[in-house]
Structure 1
């Protein structure tokens, strides 16, 4: 099946297509990325390719580019989520044909934009939002920061913790949108069936990471921010039923609310334009996207 293709086979597919297509190839991690970037892409000059698989679609995109770079293949570019890469010091070396999202991932990039404000006009309660003691983006970041650091700790210490499917209401107050860190750790431990490290030890490790004073937009995962937003829209800033504001519903709505004008201000847009200038004859973005 296609989802289990190896990096070598993905690279071979692109090499083979070069015989019939002289334009650019834009490699992406997932189908939702393709839906997002397709709006800004000159599809006559650039083919979008979703490079997915295990253990990580991002790692496969990177490896495919490495293979093509080694062959001096021209016209292939990849865009992947930054994840925690900018939290590392020094930054990891990467191919000149690989571009990272401005923030942790595509979802955080969208939430940082006015698309969130447009979504709140549709879903949020103006009265409840006006009664908040802080900006909503600040609340979402503060509530998701411990989750982000726990995700990063899981990677750094190879804890293999499971976050998919955890119930956020087990550790976040639906009325105040405040997170209980101990409840978070216990929820993730129970989901992962990982009890080899004491909860208090994990909490201290999180504290050690927070001393780095990193940009929350690089630490927080967009899916977590949207899960918190979903909880908020049920009580704290809205009154919707859970099914009406599920994560996938909100993610789709945010993508639809995202305008081309917002994209022009991103480093992704600028970096791809610079790549086009450095690779004459290869075009990615629409010419009218200026």
Structure 2
């Protein structure tokens, strides 16, 4: 498997066009974490992976290649909120695909991967303790982070001015433990969550551009009342951090391999087998495209 990593989307498009010696397909993915998920399930001789570093750059590069009538391209991007915002066009392009649910992590954990990861990284005693007390641990974790996903959607829809990630990837992320009790598995309420996010934003954004707390709460309430599907709202990065915090609070000495959200995601990616991939709608879409185009990209 060959990888291409070019930051500028126009340069990326140029590199694809100049790669005339390659008769296969160039597959765009959003980020480097995708390199741990998809390549192992693809035909390595006929696919080159291109990391676009975000969906915006992917779209710019894709549109540029469309202008040049370059058809040696495929793309897989996270769905994010596209289906909820009435912006999803299933006929956008026959070789442009989106994840089943909000993102690749939520899609992966909808398969046996979530359970298999716990089986692999916890002792038998710890696994039994967790499964007996929380037979639907995945569902409970998603429910706990669902309000945060709704707040992120409210932020996007209504320009609330909030941010949820540090500008520096080496800095600490938003601490879910500020508004979720992972020992008691209890959400502490909208007001505490919104205040925690505001505290996180302070010093990272111009607070004068952030909407007042009451306006944020009102916007959050409006989105919550829409009752959007759980798997379309929750974010995979929040889910991985939630699992890490749950294990830290409940099994402090039994989960060394999953101490952080990043480590959890690495575990999920490693455990995501071809059989699990075949359980997804994304796999079905890729398979149908392969069959209709006569170009097999999946192992």
The verdict on how the C-alpha distance between 1:3 and 1:160 changes in structure 2, with shifts beyond 3 A counting, is farther
Contact (CA 8 Å) 1:177, 1:228: kept in 2 or not?
no
Q: 1:196-235 alignment to 2 at 5 Å? A: 196-235=210-249
* CA distance in structure 1 between the aligned counterparts of 2:216 and 2:255, rounded to whole angstroms: 31
How do 1:1-290 and structure 2 match up within 5 A? 5-17=7-19, 19-52=20-53, 57-89=54-86, 91-92=88-89, 94-121=92-119, 122-123=121-122, 124-132=126-134, 135-164=136-165, 165-180=173-188, 181-193=190-202, 194=207, 196-236=210-250, 238-240=251-253, 244=257, 245-280=259-294, 282-286=295-299
Q: Is the 8 A contact 1:62 1:98 kept in 2?
A: no
Check conservation: 1:65, 1:97, Cα contact below 8 A: no
Q: Kindly provide the CA deviation profile for residues 167-210 of structure 1, in whole angstroms up to 9, marking residues without a partner as x.
A: 12111113122222222111111111247433333222112112
1:103-139: CA deviation from partner (whole Å, max 9, x where unpaired) = 111111112111111122233542243123x611221
Aligned residue for 1:49, secondary structure, equals strand
Distance 1:29 1:225, change over 3 A: same
1:77 partner SS = strand
262-271 or 118-127: which moved more? 118-127
CA deviations 1:4-45 (Å, max 9, x no partner) are 73322111110001x110111111111110221111111111
CA RMSD of aligned residues (A): 2.2
Distance (whole Å) between structure 2 residues aligned to residue 285 and residue 106 of structure 1: 17
The number of residues matched between the two structures is 277
Tell me the TM-score normalized by structure 2. 0.85
The one-character-per-residue Cα deviations of 1:40-71 (angstroms, maximum 9, x if unpaired) are 1111111111112xxxx111112212221222
> Is the alpha carbon distance of 1:105 and 1:169 closer, same or farther for their aligned partners in structure 2, counting shifts above 3 Å?
same
- Which secondary structure state, in structure 2, belongs to the residue aligned with residue 74 of structure 1? coil
Aligned mates of 1:242, 1:169 — CA distance in 2: 17
* Structure 2: gaps (5+ residues): 166-172
> How far, CA to CA, are the matches of 1:91 and 1:13 in structure 2?
29
- Which runs of at least 4 in structure 1 moved beyond 6 Å after TM superposition? none
**Greater shift after overlay, 26-35 or 62-71?**
62-71
Distance 1:92 1:104 in 2: 16
Instruction: Report the CA distance between 1:261 and its aligned residue.
Output: 0.6
Is residue 102–residue 231 contact of structure 2 (8 Å, CA) maintained in 1? Answer: yes
Query: Is the contact between residue 75 and residue 279 of structure 1 (CA under 8 Å) also seen in structure 2?
Result: no
The TM-score normalised by the length of structure 1 is: 0.88
Tell me the secondary structure at the aligned position of residue 48 of structure 2. Answer: strand
* CA shift in 2, pair 1:112/1:21, >3 Å: same
Shift of the alpha carbon at 1:241?
7.5
**CA distance change for structure 1 residues 205 and 80 in 2, over 3 Å: closer, same or farther?**
same
